[in-house]
Structure 1
Amino acid sequence: MKNGFVIRSLNEIQFWSRIMKEHSFFLGLGFRREDTQLIDEANHFYKIFEGIEQKSYSFGENADPATILQFNKEVHTAVTYIWLFKRKVLGLILTCKLPGATNFPLLVDHTSREAKYFRKRLEELNEGKLEPLQDAIIDENVFFLKIMADHAKFIGHLLDPSERKLVEQARDFSQDFDQLLFQAKDLDSMRPQSQTVPLLDQFLDQNRVSVKSLRDFKKTASELINECKIKSIIHPLLADHVFREAERFLEIIDAFEGALTGKRPPKLDIHEA
C-alpha cells in the first residue's frame, strides 16, 4: 500500500502539474498587453508548476512515503493558489473588467475545475480516502465528460469559420458529450440503485467509444495544425494538451473496467481497493 501511495501520487502530480503549467501559459496568451500584473502572475505560476513537474521526476516508486506525503502537501498549496488566481480572472472577465482579452469565461472556469479536481486528488491520497469503485466510476465520468464537452466547444470556436467541415465535427462532438454528460448525471441521481455491474459496464463502454472518436479527432487536428494544413487560431500546444487529456480519460475508463469486470488490466488505480 505504501508503494501504491507513492506511485499514485507521482502519477497524478506528473500529469496534472504539466496541465497546470500549460494553463498558466494559455491564460497569459489571452491577456491584453496592458494586463502586466496578470501576465506576471501567470508567468509566476508557470515557473512554479514547471519546478513541481521537474521535481516529481526526481522521485522513484520506492521513494519514502513520508517524503511524498510532504511533497503532496506542497503541491496542494500551489494548486490552491492557482485555483484562486483562475477564479479571480473569471470574476474580472464576468464583470467586464478585461474587455478585449481573449480568454473565454468557460475556458477559465474549465481550467479552475481541473485545478480543483487535482487538489481533491491530492487530499484523498494523503488522507488515504479514495472513493469506492462504484462511486469513483460515476464521479470521474461526470467530471471528464464535461471536460471533453468543453474541449469540443473550444475547438469549434478557435477554428477559422471557413473550416466548415471541422467546425461541424466539433459541434457534433460537443452535442454528443453534452448528451453523455446528461446520462451520467441521471445515473448519478439514481445512486445507489444504479450502481450495478451491468449498468456501470455499459456506461463505461458507451463513453469509451465517444472518447476514442474525440481523441482521434484531436490527434488529427493537432497533426494538421502542426503541418499548417488548416486555418485556426489554436496554439499547437493547446491541441496537444486537449489530446493528452482525452488519453488520460481513456486510461481511467480502462482502469475502471479492469477493476469492475477484470476484462482489462488497469494501468491507473484511482479508486479505493
Structure 2
Amino acid sequence: MSTAFVVRSLDEVRFWSRIMKEHSLFLRLGFRAEDKQLINEANHFYSTFEAIESRANGMNAGADPQTIQRFNVEVHSAVTQIWAFKRKVLGLILHCQLPGANNYPLLVDHTSREAFYFRNRLEELNTGRLDPLPDAIINENVFFLRIMADHAKFIGHLLDPSERKLVDQAREFSEDFDKLVFQAIDLESMRPQSQTPPLLDQFLDQNRVSVQSLRDFKKTARDLIEACRIKSIIHPLLADHVYREAERFLHIIDRFEAALTGKE
C-alpha cells in the first residue's frame, strides 16, 4: 500500500459516500407518511454516510495506509447494509406492498447498482486487485453508460408533461445511451480480441461526446430548476446529483484516455 492507495481510496469514499447519503434522502422523500420504519431506516443511512463523508474529508494523502484500509472496511460494511436496504425496498415495490409511494422501481434498482459498484471498488482497493486497463475501460463504461441512460429516463419522467421540448430531449438522450450501452456490451462480449488500443480509444472518444452533451443538458436543467424556471417534480439536489455523476464519468474517461495513450 502507498500514497496512491490512500489518495484513490479517499477520492472514492468522498464521492460515493455523498451519493449514498443523497440516495437515502431521495428514497425517504418517496415513501408514504405511514412508512415510518422505512423512513427511520433511510434517516439512519443518511446520518451514517454523512458521518463517513465528514471523516473522509478530514483525512489527507499523508494518512497511514493501514488506517485507510481499516476505514475502507468500515465503509464497506455500511455500503453493504444500504445495498440490502435498497434491495428490500425494491422487493416491497415490486410485490405491490407500497402502493402510492413515489420511488420508481428502476430508480431503486439504479441506486442499489451504485451501492454494489462502490462496495466492489472498496474491495478492489483493499486487496489490490484492480482490473487491467483494457478490462477496466470496458467494465467502467458498461456500468456508467447504463447509469447515464437511467438518468435521462428519470429526468424525462419527472419533468412536467407540459415541458414537451425538454421531455423530448430527455427521451432522445435515453435512446442514445441505450444504444451506447448495447455497443459497450457488444465490445465486452468480443473481448479479449476487441481490446485493441484503436478500438478502445474510439470507444472512449464516442462515449465522451455523448456524456458531455448529457452533462450540459443536466447542467441546464439543474440551473433552470434552481431558478424555478421550469415545471417539474425534480428536487434541486437530485438535479445536481445526476450532474455530478456525469462529471465523474467524464473524469474517468479522461483518465482512461491518458493511460491508454501514455500521456499520464
> Structure 2 length as normaliser, TM-score?
0.99
Q: CA deviation at 1:253?
A: 0.2
1:202 match: 202
Mapped partners of 1:210, 1:58: distance in 2: 35
CA distance in 1, matches of 2:59, 2:220: 34
Structure 1 distance, partners of 2:60, 2:46, is 24
Matched ranges for 1:71-110 at <5 A: 71-110=71-110
Superposed CA RMSD: 0.6
Alignment match, 2:242: 242
Q: Deviations over 1:184-232 (max 9, x none)?
A: 0000000000000000000000000000000000000000000010000
What is aligned with 2:213? 213
Report the equivalent of 1:121.
121
TM-score normalised by L of structure 1: 0.96
Find the counterpart in structure 2 of residue 61 from structure 1: 61
Between the aligned partners of 1:203 and 1:262, the Cα distance in structure 2 is 17
2:111 alignment counterpart? 111
Q: Partners of 2:262 and 2:65 in 1: how far apart?
A: 29
Shift of residue 57 of structure 1?
1.1
Alpha-carbon shift at residue 262 of structure 1 (Å): 3.0
Deviation at 1:58, TM superposition (A): 1.3
Q: Given the alignment of the two structures, is residue 152 of structure 1 paired with residue 152 of structure 2, yes or no?
A: yes
CA distance in 2, matches of 1:104, 1:46: 20
* Cα offsets for 1:62-83 (capped at 9, x unmatched): 1000000000000000000000
Structure-to-structure mapping, 1:169-184, within 5 angstroms: 169-184=169-184
Paired residue for 2:32?
32
What is the DSSP-based 3-state SS (H/G/I as helix, E as strand, rest coil) of the residue aligned with 1:143?
helix
Provide the aligned length of Structure 1 versus Structure 2.
264
Q: Partners in 2 of 1:42 and 1:144 — Cα distance?
A: 25
- In structure 1, what is the equivalent of residue 192 of structure 2? 192
Question: Which runs of 5 or more structure 2 residues have no equivalent in the other structure?
Answer: none
Aligned match of 1:23: 23
Q: Which amino acid aligns with 1:158?
A: L
Instruction: Provide runs of 4+ in structure 1 moved above 2 Å.
Output: none
Stretches of structure 1 lacking an aligned partner (at least 5 in a row): 266-273
The alignment partner of 1:192 has SS state of coil
Q: How far apart, CA to CA, are the structure 1 residues paired with 2:60 and 2:228?
A: 39
